[in-house]
Amino acid sequence: MTSDPKGYRKQLGKRGEEIAAEFLQSKGYTIRDRNFQIREGELDLIVEVDDTLVFVEVKTVRSEAFGHPADKVDSRKQHRMILAAEAYLQKYEINDMDCRFDVIAIRIKTGNSIVEHIEDAFNADANDME
């Protein structure tokens, strides 16, 4: 992994999460939690809309030189999100809500942000989510 002496990627990620939260709130979503972590994975945002609990992964880039930001949510990342979502549901004893996984891809270019919201970006198998 390349070094990041000034924490640039972490700052970019945090900025992206703020942009995503503001974007979702403007669409009527309620923020329930941020940066929920377990050993196996993390959920950037947990939001609610229309009686659905939404686990959101935010990917932020300054350039698409290495592909679309949403492409970074590969099967390994999806599996980690599913594990974290299961832990979240257990911790807060949530068993009666519809759930889904969304991805928000953000491209920041010279102060402007381009936000792409991919609803229901992937599904957990019935065996993976209870």
More reliable by pLDDT, 86 or 111: 86
C-beta atoms surrounding 29 within 10 Å: 21
Which has the closest alpha carbon to 106: 32, 56, 33, 54? 56
DSSP category for residue 42: E
The pLDDT of residue 68 is above 90: no
Is residue 126 scored above 60 in pLDDT?
Answer: no
- The verdict on pTM exceeding 0.85 is yes
Q: What residues contact 65, with CB distance under 8 A and at least 6 apart?
A: none
**Boundaries of every domain in the chain:** 8-122
Which of 20, 32, 39 has the alpha carbon at shortest distance from 80? 39
pLDDT at 125: 72
What percent of the chain lies above the pLDDT cut of 90? Answer: 67
Q: pLDDT tens-digit profile of 14-60? A: 999 999 999 999 999 999 999 999 999 999 999 999 999 999 999 99
23 alpha-carbon distance from chain centroid? 13
CA distances from 80 to 54, 87, 96, 103 (A): 15, 11, 22, 14
128, pLDDT greater than 60 = no
CA diameter of the chain:
44
**Which CATH number fits the domain 8-122, given the four candidates 3.90.226.10, 3.40.1350.10, 3.10.25.10, 3.40.50.740?**
3.40.1350.10
